[in-house]
Structure formats: structure tokens, C-alpha cells
Amino acid sequence: MRLGIVSFAHLHAEGYINNLRANPEVDVIGFADDNPERGAHFARRYGIRQFDSYEALIAAQPDGVVICTENARHRPVVELAAQAGVHVLCEKPLATTLEDARAMIEACERGGVHLMTAFPMRFNAPVIEAKRVMESGALGRIYGANTTNQGKLPRYHSDYVRAWFEQKDLAGGGAAMDHTVHLVDLLRWFLGCEVVEVYAQLNDILYREAGVDVETGGLVMLTFEDGTFASVDCSWSKPPSYPTWGGLTMEIVGETGLLTVDAFKQVTAVYGREERARWPYWGSDSNQAMIDEFVAAIRDNRPPAITGYDGYRALEVALAAYTSAACGEPVRLPLI
């Protein structure tokens, strides 16, 4: 199966290239990047063929592409791929507006191709174990959940600095756009119903003095159709010295039990004589399982486990969080 990568704008492309190469069914035909400096950098680093343009990559007729452009630039390449009959795995958030997200879903339907949203947390082994506990009914009727997806400021995530993560026009926002969608998707998946109300408080105290002008702190309260409520902490609140990039946690409380999930707890603590503490991760690679699912869906000609619709609903919640933060009131869904 011939697959390509569209852009290294999103840092996850750095992981996906290795995941694609690790799948024995996949032939990585190459990548394209509209930023020449970035393209040259990653072509060198990964020894991967670089196409001159997204059009040239699509014209090479891959079976599928992984879209890792800036959040606001997903739509044109998804439409390009869909028209050419190329399956799409698109980085989250699916888009930065509902209009774009809807257009992408419709383009892929018209083109008869899969649109999968990259929500790797659904493939995280501790999360899957937690889902199994949820499904067993052991917790009884669920009361609520207290969840976090905190991280460092994106510039500290990789040695290759990606300034666009902190620019509203390209990222669609800051921490709330970056970190709300994973937990919205997991909670939708766990609870089996949709979010009907969103309340959010956002602030920009962290890194304001460093010139970051998007929100860096955020707390979002979700209410689901069945009455369950959950808060999501999406803050970029792990300082640069934190021993790992961040993390994702859930505490789910039900009538007959408590379930806690720390999705990235499988680490070894390393304390150097001079270097600061590090927590290298030894848990299973959820990105690999997600890439493998995309490949399997193409191979078996079936819809992937996560769709464009899932990406749309998660984006809707993130956008509602901005509306709520601006007006100070809870916002009802669906937005349109």
C-alpha cells in the first residue's frame, strides 16, 4: 500500500513517518511541504523523497495520505486528495471552522474515500483498558469525570520549533483548540452520547510575558445528553522543566466505583547528575495502532474506527468553548 505525508507542519508527522515505515504493508512514497525550509529539513532528517508540491504528491496516486499541515490548512489538501480518490488520515483538530470541517467530510463522501481523524488516544492501551471497564458496567451509572490534557507550550515539544501552534490564524486558537478535542472524543466514545452544553474559562497568564497571545490556560465543563458532566483542563501548564511533554488523565466517578486513567504513566524516571529529570515512555505507541487502523481500513475497504464526523463533533466543542469564554455563559450544542 502506497502512502504519503502531507507536510511536517504538525509535529506528529515526526512520529507518523516512523509508524508508517514500521507497518510492513506500507510503502512510504514520500511527502510534500509548502514550506521549503521545513521540507528540506525533514527530507534530510528522515531520508524521505520530497515531492515539489501537494499536487505532485497526489498526482503520484498514493492509496492514502496523512495530513499534517497547519490546522487551518487542512481543507484544501483534503479536498485535493478526495477528488483524486486518495484516502485521508487528517491530524486533529479536523479544521478550525465547522464550515471547513463539513466541506472536508462532504468532499470525502463525494470522492468515495475514508476520512479518518487522528485521535490516537483511542488506541492508547490504558485508555482501551479503561473503556473495557466502562463497558463492563462495573462503575454503575456515571456521575461525572475530571479530566486533563495538559502539555508544555508547543515550542518545547520538539527541537524543530513550530511557531504556528501559537498563532490563532493558523492554529485556530491556543491551548483550548489544541487540547480539548482528545478528551471530548474519548468522553463521547466512553459515554456513547453527545455533548449538549459547553462552558469554558480561558486565560493567558502563562507565557504572556513571552509574547504568546493565544490562550494558554483553559477549563471546560461539558454536559452530555445523559446528564453526565465532565471538566477538561486543556492548559499548556507543564513548564519547560517538566520531565515529559505533558499527559492525559481521566477520573471517572460512577454510582458503584471510581476509575482513574493516567494514559502516559508508563515511564521510567531518570535523574542525571547534571541534566534535569526525564520520564522516558515505555508504554505502547498509540500512534502506531492508529496508523495501522488507517492502513487496515483502506486494505479491507471499510470505514475507519474514527471518522470525520468524530472530528467534527470534537471541533464543535472546542469552538463552543471559545464562544462560552467570550460571553461568560454556557453554550448549547449543536452550534449549527
Partner 1 sequence: MLRVGLVGAGFMGAHHAAGWAATPATLAGVLSLDPAAVRSLVERYGGRAYASLDELINDVDVVDICTPTHLHYEMVLKAAAAGKHVVCEKPLARTIAQAEEMIAACERAGVKLLVAHVVRYFPQYAQAKALVERGEIGKVAVVRLTRASFRPRRALDNWFLDGEKSGGMLLDLMLHDFDYARWIAGEVETVFAKSVSAARPDAPGDYALAILRHRGGAISNLESAWAYPPPLFRTSLQIAGSHGLIDHPADSAVPVKVHLMADAAETPDIAVPASPLTDTPYTTEIKEFYQALVHDVPPRVTAHDGLMALRLAFAAIESARTGRPVSPQEV
Beta bridge partners, 203, equal 217
Strands of the sheet containing 50-51, edge to edge, are: 50-51, 27-32, 2-6, 64-67, 87-91, 115-118
196 binding partner 1? (CB under 8 A)? no
Min. distance of Cβ 220 from partner 1 in angstroms? 8
Give the number of other CB atoms < 10 A from CB of residue 326. Answer: 11
Binding part of the chain for partner 1, among 117-125, 126-134, 186-194, 218-226 by CB under 8 A, reads: 218-226
Within 10 A of 280 (CB to CB), how many other CB atoms are there? 10
Is the link from the previous residue into 243 a cis peptide, with omega within 30 of 0?
A: no
Query: Could you give the count of Cα atoms lying within 13 Å of 32 in the half-sphere of its Cβ?
Result: 18
Nearest residue (CB) to partner 1, 265 versus 299 = 265
Strand partners, 261: 250
Region 103-162 residues binding partner 1, contact defined as CB under 8 A:
141, 143-144, 146, 148, 150
- Give the shortest CB-206-to-partner 1 separation in angstroms: 5
Per-residue binding letters, 236-255, with partner 1 (x by CB under 8 A): -xxx-xx--------x-xxx
- Please, which residue, 44 or 265, has the CB nearer to partner 1? 265
d(CA 267, CA 280): 5
Interaction of residue 256 with partner 1, rule CB under 8 A: yes
Enumerate residues 257-296 that contact partner 1 by CB under 8 A.
257-258, 260
CB of 219 to partner 1, least distance (A): 5
Rounded Cα gap, residues 263 and 103, in angstroms: 33
- The alpha carbon torsion through 45, 48, 49, 54 (nearest 10 deg) reads -80
What nine digits make up the cell of 32?
510534500
> Under the criterion CB under 8 A, does residue 201 sit at the interface with partner 1?
yes
In the range 299-328, which residues lie near partner 1 by CB under 8 A? 328
CB 235 to partner 1: min, Å? 5
The minimum distance between CB 110 and partner 1, in angstroms, equals: 40
CB of 55 to partner 1, least distance (A): 43
Q: Do the strands 246-254 and 257-262 form a parallel or antiparallel pair, or are they unpaired?
A: antiparallel
Where do contacts with partner 1 occur on this chain (CB under 8 A)? 141, 143-144, 146, 148, 150, 197, 199, 201-209, 216-219, 221, 223, 227, 229-231, 233, 235, 237-239, 241-242, 251, 253-258, 260, 328-330
